[in-house]
C-alpha cells in the first residue's frame, strides 16, 4: 500500500509538471495531498516503514530529477520557439528584400529599354543628318551646273560685247567714209562751180584735145555734152554713195539698238537670277540652320535627361547593394544561429533519449508520454496545416504577382503598339518632308554666289555635331558596360530563390 501511495504521489507530481492549465495543477495538488495523508496514516501502522521510506526517497529523487529534466526541456522548447519566430521574421525580411530586388531589376530593365529607345532615336537623327548631307551634295551639283551656265552666259556676254565693239568700230569707219564722201562731193561741187565760173576754154587742152581739128561750134556742143555727162555721172556716183551711207547708217543703228537691247535684257536677267538665287539660298540656309539647332537642342536635352536618370539609377543600385550586403550578413548570422540551435537541440535530444531509457520502467509515465506524444502529433498536424495555409497564401500572392506581371505586360504591349503607330506617323511625316525637300530642290536649281561660305560653315557644324555625337555614344557605351558589370555582380550575390522567381 505504501508503495502504491508513493507511486500515486509521484504520478501526481509528474501530472502537475506536465499540465498546462492552473485548474488541472490544483486538482493534481489536492489528489497528492490526499494521497500523502493516507500514506502517513498507513505508515504509522505498517511494520516495514524504514524500507518503504528508503524506497520512497529514491523514487522522490528520481521524480525530482525527472521534473528538473522536464523543466530544462521546457526552457529549451521555449528558446526553440523564440528562435523559430526570429527565423520567420528573418525569412519575411528576406522575402521583402527579394521583392525589392525584383522591383529594382524591373526598373533597371525599363531603364535599359529607355536607353535602347534613346539610342534608336540618336541613330535616326544620324540617318537624318546623312540624308541632309546627301541633299546638300545634290544642291552642290546643281550649284556647279548653275556655275557652268553662268560661265557660259558670261562668255556669251563677252562675245556680244566684243561684237558690240566691232560694230561700233564699223559704225565709226562708216561715218568716216560718209564724211570722206561728203568732202569729195563738196570738192566736186567746188570744182564744178569753178569750171562754171571760169568757162570751158581754160580746160580745153586738158579735157578735149581732139577738138583742135573741129570747128568751134561743134567743139562747144561736144564739150557741153561731155560736161553734162560727167556731171550726171558724178551726181549718180554721189547719190549711190549717199544711199550706201544711209543704208550702212541704218544697219549700224539697228545693230546697235539690238545689241543694247540684248545687253540690257541679259543684265536684267542676270540681276533677277542672282537676286532670286540669293533669296532662295538664304532661306534654305536659315531653315537648315534652324532645324539643325532645334535637333541639337533636343538631342542635348535628351542626353542631359538620360545622364540624370543614369545617375539616379546608380544611386539606387548603390543603395540596393548596401541593402543586399546587410541582408547577406543577416542571413549568414541566422544560418550560424540555426546551426548552433540544431547542435544544441541534438544534444538535448540525446539527453532526452538517455533519460527516456531510464524512465522506460514506468508504464504510467509511458502512457503519459504517449498522451503527450499524441498532443505533439496534434500540434504538428496543426502546425502542418498552418504551414499549408501559409503556403497557399504565398501561392495566392505569387498568382497575384503573376497576374500583375501579365497586366503590366499587356500595358507594355499596348504601349509598344502606340509607339509603333507613332513611328509610322513620324515616317509618313518624314516622307512628306522629303517630298517637300525634293520640290524645293527642283525649285531651287539656281543657286547664288554665297554658297561656298555657307557650305564651309555647314561642314564645320557637321564636324562638331559628329564629334559631339561620338563623345556621347562613347559615354553611353561606358555607362552600359558599367551597368552590365554591376548587374552581373548583383546576379552573383542573389540567392537561388530569387533567381528561380525571376525565371
Q: State pLDDT tens for residues 309-331.
A: 767 766 766 766 676 677 667 66
Question: Whole-angstrom distance between the N-terminal and C-terminal Cα of the chain?
Answer: 73
CB 419 within 8 A of CB 113: no
CB 372 within 8 A of CB 18: yes
Residue 275 pLDDT level (bands cut at 50, 70, 90): confident
Cα–Cα distances in angstroms (integers) from residue 28 to residues 110, 166, 203, in the given order: 69, 152, 197
Residue 408 pLDDT level (bands cut at 50, 70, 90): confident
Please give the pLDDT value at position 212: 39
pLDDT surpasses 80 at 29 = no
Outline where DSSP puts E strands in 59-210.
Answer: none
Please give the pLDDT value at position 369: 61
Print burial letters for 273-288: b (CB count within 10 Å at least 16), e (below 16).
Answer: beeebeebbeebbeeb
* Cα 503 to Cα 492: distance, rounded to the nearest angstrom: 15
Please give the pLDDT value at position 124: 75
For the ranges 31-45, 113-127, 259-273, 390-404, the maximum mean pLDDT occurs at 390-404
pLDDT tens profile 412-433: 888 888 888 888 888 888 888 7
* Cα 260 to Cα 373: distance, rounded to the nearest angstrom: 131
For residue 181, the number of C-alpha atoms closer than 13 Å in the C-beta half-sphere is 19
* Cα 327 to Cα 81: distance, rounded to the nearest angstrom: 22
Question: DSSP assignment, residue 20?
Answer: -
For the ranges 278-287, 441-450, 466-475, 487-496, the maximum mean pLDDT occurs at 466-475
pLDDT tens profile 51-102: 666 666 766 676 667 677 677 667 777 776 776 777 677 667 667 766 776 7
The packing angle between helices 451-493 and 216-358, to 10°, is: 10
List helix spans (H) across 199-215: 204-207
* Cα 125 to Cα 121: distance, rounded to the nearest angstrom: 6
Average pLDDT over every residue of 253-257:
73
Please give the pLDDT value at position 351: 64
Cell numbers that stand for 181 in this block: 564722201
Q: Which of the residue ranges 46-50, 132-136, 395-399, 471-475 would you say has the lowest mean pLDDT?
A: 46-50
399 closest CA partner among 170, 391, 334: 391
Residue 94 has φ and ψ, to the nearest 5°, of -65, -40
Residue 457 pLDDT level (bands cut at 50, 70, 90): confident
Outline where DSSP puts E strands in 319-383.
Answer: none
Cell 537642342, residue located: 297
CB 160 within 8 A of CB 262: yes
pLDDT surpasses 70 at 503 = no
CB 5 within 8 A of CB 42: yes
Sequence-separated (6 or more) residues with CB below 8 Å from residue 436 = none
CB 67 within 8 A of CB 58: no
* Cα 325 to Cα 101: distance, rounded to the nearest angstrom: 12
Residue 439 pLDDT level (bands cut at 50, 70, 90): confident
Residue 497 pLDDT level (bands cut at 50, 70, 90): very low
CB 118 within 8 A of CB 305: no
CB 67 within 8 A of CB 9: no
* Cα 32 to Cα 249: distance, rounded to the nearest angstrom: 166
pLDDT tens profile 198-240: 544 434 334 444 433 444 456 556 666 766 776 677 667 667 7
Q: Please state, as a whole number, how many other Cβ atoms lie within 10 Å of the Cβ of residue 159.
A: 10
Q: Which of the residue ranges 103-107, 367-371, 385-389 would you say has the lowest mean pLDDT?
A: 367-371
In terms of phi and psi (left: phi > 0; alpha: psi -120 to 50; beta: otherwise), the region of 199 is left
* Cα 495 to Cα 486: distance, rounded to the nearest angstrom: 16
* Cα 470 to Cα 486: distance, rounded to the nearest angstrom: 24
CB 139 within 8 A of CB 444: yes
Average pLDDT, the chain: 68
Cell numbers that stand for 139 in this block: 544642291
Cell numbers that stand for 154 in this block: 558670261
Amino acid at each position: 500500500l505504501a508503495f502504491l501511495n508513493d507511486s500515486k504521489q509521484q504520478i501526481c507530481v509528474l501530472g502537475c509538471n506536465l499540465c498546462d492549465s492552473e485548474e488541472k495543477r490544483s486538482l493534481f495538488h489536492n489528489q497528492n495531498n490526499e494521497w500523502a495523508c493516507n500514506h502517513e496514516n498507513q505508515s504509522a501502522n505498517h511494520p516495514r516503514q524504514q524500507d518503504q521510506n528508503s524506497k520512497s526517497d529514491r523514487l522522490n529523487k528520481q521524480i525530482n530529477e525527472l521534473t528538473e529534466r522536464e523543466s530544462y526541456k521546457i526552457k529549451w522548447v521555449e528558446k526553440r520557439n523564440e528562435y523559430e519566430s526570429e527565423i520567420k521574421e528573418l525569412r519575411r525580411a528576406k522575402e521583402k528584400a527579394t521583392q525589392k530586388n525584383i522591383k529594382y531589376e524591373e526598373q533597371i530593365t525599363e531603364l535599359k529599354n529607355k536607353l535602347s529607345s534613346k539610342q534608336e532615336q540618336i541613330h535616326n537623327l544620324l540617318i537624318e543628318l546623312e540624308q541632309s548631307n546627301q541633299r546638300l551634295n545634290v544642291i552642290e551639283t546643281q550649284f556647279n551646273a548653275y556655275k557652268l551656265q553662268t560661265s557660259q552666259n558670261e562668255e556669251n556676254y563677252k562675245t556680244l560685247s566684243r561684237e558690240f565693239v566691232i560694230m561700233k568700230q564699223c559704225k565709226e569707219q562708216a561715218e568716216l567714209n560718209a564724211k570722206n564722201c561728203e568732202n569729195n562731193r563738196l570738192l566736186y561741187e567746188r570744182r564744178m562751180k569753178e569750171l562754171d565760173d571760169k568757162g570751158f576754154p581754160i580746160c580745153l587742152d586738158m579735157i578735149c584735145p581732139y577738138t583742135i581739128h573741129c570747128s568751134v561750134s561743134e567743139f562747144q556742143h561736144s564739150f557741153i555734152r561731155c560736161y553734162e555727162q560727167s556731171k550726171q555721172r558724178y551726181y549718180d556716183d554721189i547719190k549711190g554713195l549717199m544711199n550706201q551711207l544711209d543704208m550702212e547708217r541704218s544697219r549700224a543703228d539697228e545693230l546697235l539698238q539690238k545689241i543694247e537691247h540684248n545687253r540690257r535684257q541679259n543684265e536684267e536677267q542676270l540681276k533677277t537670277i542672282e537676286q532670286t538665287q540669293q533669296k532662295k539660298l538664304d532661306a534654305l540656309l536659315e531653315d537648315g540652320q534652324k532645324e539643325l539647332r532645334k535637333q541639337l537642342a533636343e538631342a542635348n536635352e535628351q542626353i542631359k535627361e538620360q545622364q540624370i536618370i543614369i545617375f539616379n539609377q546608380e544611386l539606387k543600385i548603390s543603395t540596393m547593394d548596401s541593402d543586399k550586403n546587410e541582408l547577406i550578413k543577416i542571413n549568414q548570422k541566422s544560418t550560424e544561429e540555426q546551426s548552433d540551435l540544431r547542435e544544441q537541440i541534438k544534444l538535448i535530444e540525446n539527453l532526452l533519449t538517455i533519460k527516456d531509457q531510464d524512465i522506460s520502467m514506468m508504464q504510467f509515465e509511458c502512457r503519459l508520454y504517449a498522451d503527450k506524444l499524441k498532443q505533439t502529433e496534434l500540434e504538428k498536424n496543426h502546425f502542418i496545416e498552418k504551414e499549408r495555409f501559409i503556403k497557399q497564401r504565398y501561392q495566392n500572392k505569387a498568382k497575384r504577382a503573376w497576374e500583375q506581371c501579365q497586366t503590366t505586360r499587356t500595358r507594355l504591349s499596348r504601349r509598344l503598339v502606340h509607339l509603333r503607330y507613332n513611328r509610322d506617323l513620324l515616317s509618313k511625316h518624314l516622307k512628306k518632308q522629303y517630298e517637300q525637300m525634293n520640290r524645293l530642290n527642283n525649285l531651287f536649281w539656281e543657286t547664288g554666289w554665297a554658297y561656298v561660305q555657307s557650305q564651309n560653315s555647314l561642314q564645320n557644324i557637321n564636324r562638331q555635331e559628329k564629334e559631339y555625337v561620338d563623345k556621347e555614344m562613347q559615354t553611353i557605351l561606358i555607362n552600359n558596360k558599367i551597368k552590365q558589370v554591376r548587374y552581373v555582380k548583383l546576379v552573383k550575390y542573389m540567392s537561388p530563390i530569387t533567381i528561380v522567381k525571376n525565371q
